[in-house]
Amino acid sequence: MSWRDNLDPVLKDFLNSLLKEVQKQKKAYSEADDPAIAQIWTALSIIYRKILLLEREIEDIKGKISENDLKNKLEESLKKI
């Protein structure tokens, strides 16, 4: 029995998805002195990229919310005039 068989099914799905992405870089990490470690670093790089993209999207959403909030306050102020 593989250690993966004992994983929570949700985590197992996430792991399989990540491994599919990592597999795309197999040529690069298989040329490393220690391919297993290089594969882990590749996975970390993919995860880090996703985190940065999500942070960027969150900042964009915050900006839009802030713009909408300012617009609404301006409209309310103009209605009072």
Closest to 28 in 3D by CA, of 47, 43, 45, 42:
42
Q: Is 30 left (phi over 0), alpha (psi -120 to 50) or beta?
A: alpha
pLDDT band, very low/low/confident/very high, at 80 (cuts 50, 70, 90): confident
Please state, rounded to an integer, the average pLDDT across all residues of the chain: 93
The torsion angle over the Cα atoms of residues 49, 53, 54 and 60, rounded to 10 degrees, is 160
- Cβ atoms of 18 and 43 within 8 Å: the answer is yes
pLDDT of residue 23: 98
pTM to 2 decimal places: 0.76
Look up residue 4 and give its DSSP letter: G
- Residue 42 has which token pair? 């590749």
pLDDT band, very low/low/confident/very high, at 34 (cuts 50, 70, 90): very high
